[in-house]
Amino acid sequence: MTKSSPTLSVIVPCFNIEHYVAETVAGLVNNARDDFEFLFVEDRSTKDKTYEALLELTKRLPGARVIRHERNGGLATARNTGIDAAEGRYLTFLDGDDWLAPGYLPELVETIDRLDVDFVRTDHVQVTGLTRTVHRAPEGRRHVALDPRGSILPVGESTMVDYPYAWAGVYHRRLLDRGLLRFHDGLRTAEDRPWIWDLHRRADSYAVASLRGLFYRRGVATSLTQIGDVRQLDFFRSFDLVLAELAQDPEAGQLRKKALRNYCVVIAHQLLAKDRFERSVATQLRQLSAQALGRMPEQELEEALVGMGEERVRTLRRVRGGMKGIAA
């Protein structure tokens, strides 16, 4: 008798997360079903025994597989490894230091089954120390099928491309068949920016569900969001990819303004947090920021940055020069 394919594949990239992985696996045990598979991609941890911990802990998780990279490839590549191994009708992601509430995954699958869309995005709970904060996906229309392109604009408001977290949702395999689920290999941060833009530009349908069973751990010492090394600078490549891929879009004029605003918000954020970077990386950050901003025509910047805030606009103006007419 031929074994049927799984309903859901859960892809969990893991790197230096031995301290957290027991809670991650426990959350998956409380979501396990016979038709779910769990793919842990161990990205050659360097500071702890993540791999050994995974081998032991996943013994109690039905449908679990541990895949180990020969060398460290970064988050985007680890997710791609999981995607390539996945056999499920639906795919979802979970970072190795986050966890799920009991019953979250079955509810996620029921939602995408019922709505019959290409993908579903969800809210999430951010955990910082003992504080828990609900972060809502920036789309008010809930549990109805929507056009993904219709959730990219307007330029000056938070929209679904400003909520790029791959783990906050579930995705139909047909997106993979259309080349829409893989990440750009080698990106070590902001890997989800080109990915979310591609989904919203090219997928046919999606929905937002008011599910809050995913707990995102903020402030983890080994997370790239906390480390001020050169890997952080991959966001320049990520946004350059977004702009390059927009060039052939039939609505490139309007969408480019939104992408430029996204790009500038992140540049300003990194510049304002430059003290956490190693000195050489801070220097490189300023140089790459000046180059990226210098490639943007001032007229486009003026339209993209209106209302972005005095501190951020002033920070960008200092690095780029000019921009005198841009309103904060």
| SS3 letters across 189-205 | CCCHHHHHHHHHHHCCC
Please check whether residue 325 lies inside any domain of the structure: no
Q: Is residue 188 part of a domain?
A: yes
CB 215 within 8 A of CB 123: no
Least reliable range by pLDDT among 2-16, 136-150, 213-227, 248-262? 213-227
Last residue of a domain, one of 215, 250, 285: 215
Determine the pLDDT at residue 24: 98
What is the total count of domains within the chain? Answer: 2
Residue 328 lies in a domain: no
* Residue 101 contacts residue 192 (beta carbons within 8 Å): no
Please report, rounded to a whole number, the percentage of residues in the chain having pLDDT higher than 90: 86
**pTM for this structure?**
0.93
Q: Do 90 and 152 fall within a single domain?
A: yes
321: confidence class by pLDDT, cuts 50, 70, 90: confident
3: in domain = no
- Given a cut of 70, whether residue 324 has pLDDT beyond it is no
* Selected residue with higher pLDDT from 111 and 303: 111
**Position 161 in a domain:** yes
* Residues 119, 250 within the same domain: no
Rg (CA), the chain: 20
SS3 of residue 65 by DSSP: strand
Residue 288 lies in a domain: yes
Q: Do 254 and 191 reside in the same domain of the chain?
A: no
Window from 92-106, 220-234, 287-301 with minimum mean pLDDT: 220-234
Does residue 327 lie in a domain region?
A: no
Nearest to 63 by CA among 23, 8, 115, 22: 8
Residue 305 has a pLDDT of 83
pLDDT band at 301 (very low <50, low <70, confident <90, very high): confident
Query: Are 180 and 49 found together in one domain?
Result: yes
Are residue 154 and residue 181 in the same domain, yes or no? yes
Is residue 173 domain-shared with residue 109, that is, in the same domain? yes
244 and 137 assigned to the same domain: no
Mean pLDDT of 12-23: 97
pLDDT above 90 (res 243): yes
Residues 101, 191 share a domain: yes
1: in domain:
no
Domain boundary among 163, 192, 215: 215
- Are the C-beta atoms of residues 269 and 319 closer than 8 Å to each other? no
Average pLDDT over residues 98-110: 98
Question: Where among 215, 243, 262 does a domain terminate?
Answer: 215
Looking at residue 302, its pLDDT comes to: 84
Q: Please return the burial class of 311, using the count of CB atoms within 10 Å of its CB with bins 0-12, 13-18 and 19+.
A: exposed
Over 80: is that where the pLDDT of 101 sits? yes
Q: Which domain range does residue 59 map to?
A: 8-215
